[in-house]
Amino acid sequence: MAFDQRHRFIISKMAEAFGIEESVVEKKLIVEKQHINAFFEGSAPGALRWSYQVPEEKNKDGAWVQKGTKPVLALSHQQGEHVSGKCLFFVRVNPKGVNEKTLETDLAVGEIQGSALETIKALVADLYLPILQEQSSWGKMPVDHAKEFLAGAGKMANILAEAASCLQGGVGLKKPDERHVSQYDLRPGAFTQAANEPEVAHHMEECLTDWCSKVEQLIQANAIPPGEEPGPDTEIEYWRGHMARFNSLSEQLKSRECRLVLGVTGMMHSPASKRWKGLELKLSDAANEAKDNVRYLGTLDKSFEVLREGGPQQILDSLHSLMQAVMTLYKIARYYGTPQRMTTLFCKITNQMIRSCKKAILEPGKIWDQQKGKLIANMQVCVKLCEAYKQQYIFMRDTMKAETPEKPFEMDERAVFLKFELFAKRLNKLIEMFTTIHQFSSLEQHTHIAGLEGVLKSFHGIVDDVKRKPYDLLDYTRNQFDRDYLEFNVNVHDLEISLQAFINNSFENITSTDHALSLLAQFHAILQRGALKQELDSKYQVIFQHYAHDLEAVQAQYEAYKHKPPVPRNAPPIAGNIMWSRQLLRRIEEPMQRFAQNKMLMNMKESKKVIKMYNRVAKALVEFETLWHQAWLKGIEQQRAGLQAPLLVRHPDTGQLLVNLDKEIMQLIREAKYLQLIGIHVPEAARTLLLQEEKFKYYFAQLSFAVREYKEVMAHVQPIFKPLLKPHLEDMETKVAPGMFILTWTSMNIDGYLHRFKQGLARLKELVRKLVDIVDNRVVANLDAVQKTLLVELPGDRSFSYEEFITAQAKFQKRQADQLTIRNEEVARAIEDVIMLVQTAPRENPDVAVEEKEVDLFRSYYSSLMYRSILTATQRSFAAMKRRLGSKTATGIFYMERPFFDVDVELKLPSIALNPTLDGIQEAVNSTAKAILQASHKLRCWGMINGPPCYYDLIARDKEVVKSVLLLTGSVEGIKHQVAEYLSNFDKYSFLWTQNLQATYEAFMKTNPSLEAFEGELKKYMAIETEIAAIPSVYNIGSLSLTTLPLKTSLKSEAASWKAQFAQNLHSQSAEDLKAFDAYIRDTTLKLNRKVEDLEDVRYLVTVLNEVREREADIDALIAPIEDMYSLLLRYEVRVPKEETGMVSDLRYGWKKLRKLATDTSDNLARLQAGFKRELIKEVKAFVQDAQAFRHDWEVNGPMVPGLDPMEAVDRLKKFQQMFEVRKRKWENYSSGEELFGLPVTSYPELEQTEKEISMLDRLYTLYVTVISTIKGYGDYFWADVVEKVDEWGEQVLQYQAQCKKLPKASRDWPAYVKCRDIIDNFLEMLPLFQALAHKAMRERHWKAVMQTTGKELQLAEDVFKLQHLLDLNILQHKEEIEEITTAAVKEEQIETKLGG
């Protein structure tokens, strides 16, 4: 047999479930192939049940016993086959069969192990039911059907669970010993034989006694299961379980073991047997009772389902049928129809009703979160259910008493109805409480009523107090609610009193009757409580009294304004007056209509007077309206006469064209429209006008638009155009004339007139547009361009050399002259085009021609404009040259605009001169001015009557032009004196090239100069070099920019020659001393390296060592002058050979190396000569005294003397550091010697203390000197470089600040620490000021403000102005003023940016 996917699926599942080989399953499937294939095809039953167990059969006693020991795989073919092991079942879900492709959906598989009931219960309750309950979509199935199905499924799950529980928890009878059971058969002889065996008899007696005890307990079991407030379902469940236990007991008694026990004990006539016989009757009766009760209670299941699943209203609807069913049960039930059973059942029914009511109340959500109206309705249904429940019971009780007096319906009514009555009582209180809350909550919708917020706040406080109670409001067993409910009512009563006072206050000062009535209506709508309603009804009389005052006020207002009433905005007079009277009437009429509804108020004696006044005022207002209406009707014909006026008129004074529509016509139309809107009759004549309103408005709008367009066109016609356009203007006037003399507002051909008017206007407008376009874009634009043309190039940000100026101006002037020629010809052509356009434009009066004279005047006018534009361009060019070349431009290194000429200042022996000269510059200016005038030679003079051939003749005769030319010819003369004065500033350096260098040097050397004298000379020439370097590279005088770089280079060269001459001798002397000391170091090193062979060598080395020690004290006196001389040479930038520089830097290192060699030699001698020991002891004693003396000198003359200046303290510290180094070396040598010879090492407390103090002071003063030198070095930076360095400086100084804070506390009282800290803090405080001053917004005016604030002048040239200059101003004293200046600069820059944008 070939297996497909379906067979493989069954094989794998069976092998997995039973734990057997697939081959075993395959063999069995081959045997059952016919049945299995029929199952797959859908022709066999829809389930396969497989088992794998040892075969079983019934014995002669009816018990199942195993047949063999080997389990067998079997397929069940019949219902009811016995299975004791695991059972695997396959169910065909698809009735059409099982398809291989849809195998998983067509076939379901499961297993049963142990109790079949337990397995089915697990499948239904734990698997299928949760899945069904989670399903949200049921397809086309109605929702109520789905709910009913889920309820049935839940019920089935409960029944299965109950049945399984009963089987597990039933009475289990004690079984006799198996050896006794297998020994005796079930026959009287065997029973007698067993009874004669004492052991067997005793064992059987014990079993039966145990049975009797268990059966008695089962019979006496309480019918009410444990649980709080059980429902009627528990009653049915209890009896079903009870019946199941009796059935289980009956099944057990039929077994062989039980029959054996009963047979043996019966044969013995034992006490247990007699006891059992008595229990058998009770057991039979109890079993019958359980069956009977289950049968009759099952008939109530449908009614109980309503109790479980339905709401209070559904229960109420089915209450009669429920009571009928219970009463029928009471009548016919043999065992259950007792008062005790009925009381129990009705108590459980009551419990279920209460549970269903609570569920219905809480189903929408928490009580306080629900909508109060729906909540109250739900509670009312529950109360109604309670009442109907009791009424139905009483009705049924009385009916049964009448029908069956022998068996009246009686039960404990208090036990049945007490809980429900208490629950209903609680609901009534909740209904009243939530009704009160709902009534007061309606006030929240009327918070616009002033003063109501306080009442609402108090009410919310009362409600919040109730909400905070921790108990369940529906728990009627909690009496605490009654106390809280009483407190709630007391608070609500107090709130009603305050609300009543609020109502009284609201109507004390009535400002408007309408408002008071509206307020009263609002209070009526929201206040449903009886006490408040009575108070509101009393307010009608108060408002009516105020209404009487309103009547008086209306009457007074009518009398005051009836001759000139106030009318609404935009309303016409007649309709406005009528609207005013109607408004007054409505003011008194509407309240009266509302008062009239209150019959009791109208029948009061005090109201009669008010009613009479109302009638009188209303009558007057109606008459007022009638009078105005009649007056308007009489004036209609008179107003209609305005339609006969002409359409257009001219203003008698201005001559402007106006639309002539009589205002009375539109007034009449507006009156008719308003009167119709307010419902007043309008006569036919007025309605006719009203129908023509749109026509009149249309004609008026069209005429107004045409007149306005005509005015706009005429406004664009310039006076110079009017003579030229005279024929066209006359043609337009011809078209306008009919509207002024012929046509009226009743004419029939107004549309034709408008068409002709607009057509002519459009033609004139187009002509004027073209004229204006040509003139604006081709004439005026070119004239403006000519007028703005500069004939000289004078950029403000550039300077010219002499040659560059001549070349650049020649090219620029040629290019500009060509542009002027092009624009001049373009204007001439444009004027001719205008004339041609006017002459050829279409019009309806061709017989009128343009006069030639007017054409010539038109040409001449625009030719004169061209002349004035050229003249303006020429004058502007001269003015620009005058401004740039004038001598009033700023002098110095600062300038508002860049000077025009670049001039070099050079050293031309024997004097200083300019290149180019001032005369050459003046000649260049003169040639440029002449070229400006020559530019108009090429410009043809067109259109002028009797004019010259070109515009040059006219330009050259202009007085202002001649004046400007004369002024430019002397433009350089004004600055000659200033130039000479500036060049005289360099006379102080004239000795550099006038005096003899060699003679001056020889005279200096004859004075036998000291090092200080040499330094003075070098310093002098170094200062000259620095001063020369500080000379501004550019100096501005008027239009000249004097460049001093050539001069500075020459002067620096001369000064360097003088400095080199004086430094030569100093260098020679220092080189000799350096070589001498270097030779001493080398010689002494050779001496100390001498090999010690005898005592003479020792004495020699001792002498050398003594020499070294003696020289050690004077070593600074030898090295320091050499170092100072070379330092002086390097400081003044004298060139020194590199090898000499290296030797100077190695001086102290060589000496230190020599001293180390001496120490080593001394140590060697100590090892070789015993005498060194005695000498060492002697020297140590001397050194102790020396240390004490050194300490005394340190305390008296050292850097720690109070009041010492920090820089002097630095010098002293250096001196004592050197002295201490000498003693330190001795200290170390002596200490090492003592250690070498095994002597106690001598301590030197003075030196130890001094060493600590030197270390502390060295940290302090090293930082002090570093800070001073660093910040002083910052001052040498040019101001232009400060911006890039500020952040770097800030980080560096912050590091110094951190080092300062890390110094020992003992050093913080020293002046050096205080001064160092102040310098650091001041510099950090100045950094933000540096950043602000370096901002790009700072202009010259701002720096002048800074100088004015500090009272000091600054040279702001980039190669002169340094940070030190700013530090010297002590800007921290003026910090606030400087911050204001920088802030103002930034704001000004922002304003300039916005204006420029």
Q: Is the pLDDT of residue 1092 over 70?
A: no
Q: For residues 150 and 148, give the distance between their C-alpha atoms in angstroms, rounded to a whole number.
A: 6
Q: Is the pLDDT of residue 1315 over 60?
A: yes
Q: For residues 1344 and 1366, give the distance between their C-alpha atoms in angstroms, rounded to a whole number.
A: 13
Q: For residues 491 and 437, give the distance between their C-alpha atoms in angstroms, rounded to a whole number.
A: 12
Residue with tokens 């008194």: 588
Contact (Cβ atoms closer than 8 angstroms) between residue 1049 and residue 1377 = no
Long-range contacts of 1113-1121 (CB under 8 A, 24+ apart): 1113/1222, 1115/1151, 1116/1218, 1118/1077, 1119/1077, 1119/1147, 1119/1148, 1119/1151, 1121/1011, 1121/1073
Q: 791-815 pLDDT, tens per residue?
A: 888 776 677 776 777 787 788 888 8
Largest Cα–Cα separation, the chain: 178
**Rounded (10°) angle between helices 1095-1131 and 1011-1029:** 30
Residues 1044-1073 have a mean pLDDT of 69
Q: 949-990 pLDDT, tens per residue?
A: 888 778 878 887 777 777 777 666 667 777 777 777 777 777
Q: How confident is the model at residue 164 (pLDDT cuts 50, 70, 90)?
A: low
- Residue 798, phi then psi, degrees to nearest 5: -140, 145
* Secondary structure letter of residue 646 according to DSSP: B
Q: 106-119 pLDDT, tens per residue?
A: 888 887 776 666 66
Mean model confidence pLDDT for the chain: 76
CA 63 to chain centre: 84
Contact (Cβ atoms closer than 8 angstroms) between residue 411 and residue 346 = yes
Q: How confident is the model at residue 487 (pLDDT cuts 50, 70, 90)?
A: confident
Q: For residues 731 and 846, give the distance between their C-alpha atoms in angstroms, rounded to a whole number.
A: 9
Q: For residues 138 and 140, give the distance between their C-alpha atoms in angstroms, rounded to a whole number.
A: 6
Contacts of residue 1264, defined as CB under 8 A and 6 or more positions apart, other chains included, come to 1206, 1210, 1312, 1313, 1315, 1316
Q: Output the pLDDT for position 225.
A: 47
Q: Is the pLDDT of residue 1296 over 70?
A: yes
Q: For residues 207 and 262, give the distance between their C-alpha atoms in angstroms, rounded to a whole number.
A: 10
Q: 1357-1370 pLDDT, tens per residue?
A: 777 778 777 777 77
C-alpha closest to that of 739 among 659, 814, 651, 665: 659
Q: How confident is the model at residue 1176 (pLDDT cuts 50, 70, 90)?
A: low
Q: For residues 1074 and 1126, give the distance between their C-alpha atoms in angstroms, rounded to a whole number.
A: 10
Q: For residues 385 and 392, give the distance between their C-alpha atoms in angstroms, rounded to a whole number.
A: 10
Q: For residues 161 and 1345, give the distance between their C-alpha atoms in angstroms, rounded to a whole number.
A: 102
Q: For residues 1019 and 1132, give the distance between their C-alpha atoms in angstroms, rounded to a whole number.
A: 7
Q: Is the pLDDT of residue 720 over 80?
A: yes
CB-CB neighbours of 134 under 10 Å: 7
**Rounded (10°) angle between helices 530-537 and 513-526:** 160
Contacts of residue 1249, defined as CB under 8 A and 6 or more positions apart, other chains included, come to 1191
Residues 1175-1199 have a mean pLDDT of 79
Q: How confident is the model at residue 1205 (pLDDT cuts 50, 70, 90)?
A: confident
HSE-CB at 854 with a 13 A cutoff on CA atoms is 16
Contact (Cβ atoms closer than 8 angstroms) between residue 1087 and residue 1103 = no
Q: What are 282's two structure tokens?
A: 């009770």
Q: How far is CA 1014 from CA 651, 1017, 1120, 1124, in A?
A: 106, 5, 17, 12
pLDDT top residue among 719 and 442: 719
C-alpha closest to that of 230 among 349, 315, 312, 390: 349
Is the dihedral angle over the CA atoms 615, 621, 623, 625 positive or is it negative? negative
* Secondary structure letter of residue 108 according to DSSP: E
Q: Output the pLDDT for position 927.
A: 78
Q: Is the pLDDT of residue 894 over 50?
A: no
Contact (Cβ atoms closer than 8 angstroms) between residue 401 and residue 409 = yes
Q: 368-393 pLDDT, tens per residue?
A: 888 888 888 888 888 898 888 888 88
Contact (Cβ atoms closer than 8 angstroms) between residue 545 and residue 572 = no
Q: How far is CA 1048 from CA 305, 592, 973, 1052, 1061, in A?
A: 120, 111, 27, 6, 20
Q: What are 250's two structure tokens?
A: 């009956």
pLDDT top residue among 1104 and 869: 869
Q: Is the pLDDT of residue 1164 over 80?
A: no
Q: For residues 379 and 367, give the distance between their C-alpha atoms in angstroms, rounded to a whole number.
A: 11
Helices vs strands, H then E, count in the chain: 56, 12
Q: Is the pLDDT of residue 346 over 80?
A: yes
Is the dihedral angle over the CA atoms 31, 34, 37, 38 positive or is it negative? negative
Q: For residues 100 and 94, give the distance between their C-alpha atoms in angstroms, rounded to a whole number.
A: 12
Residue 1379, amino acid: E
Question: Burial of 608 by CB count in 10 Å (0-12 exposed, 13-18 middle, 19+ buried)?
Answer: exposed
Q: What is the DSSP code string of 483-521? A: HHHHHHHHHHHHHHHHHHHHHHHHTTS-S-HHHHHHHHH
Q: Output the pLDDT for position 1322.
A: 77
Q: How confident is the model at residue 161 (pLDDT cuts 50, 70, 90)?
A: low
Q: 267-301 pLDDT, tens per residue?
A: 887 888 888 888 778 788 888 877 887 887 777 77
Among 649-663, 900-914, 1055-1069, 1229-1243, the range with the most confident prediction by mean pLDDT is 649-663
pTM above 0.75, yes or no: no
pLDDT top residue among 566 and 973: 566
Q: How confident is the model at residue 447 (pLDDT cuts 50, 70, 90)?
A: low
Residue 93, amino acid: V
Long-range contacts of 548-552 (CB under 8 A, 24+ apart): 548/609, 548/610, 548/613, 550/513, 550/587, 550/588, 550/591, 551/588, 551/610, 551/613, 551/614, 551/617, 552/613
Residue with tokens 């006037």: 733
Q: Is the pLDDT of residue 1095 over 50?
A: no
Residues 827-847 have a mean pLDDT of 85
pLDDT top residue among 510 and 144: 144
Q: What are 1226's two structure tokens?
A: 């001795």
Q: How confident is the model at residue 1068 (pLDDT cuts 50, 70, 90)?
A: low
Contacts of residue 1008, defined as CB under 8 A and 6 or more positions apart, other chains included, come to none
Task: Give the full edge-to-edge strand order of the sheet including 107-112.
Answer: 72-76, 47-53, 87-92, 107-112
Q: Output the pLDDT for position 397.
A: 83
Beta-bridged to residue 646, according to DSSP, are 744
Is the dihedral angle over the CA atoms 315, 319, 323, 325 positive or is it negative? negative
Residues 663-687 have a mean pLDDT of 77
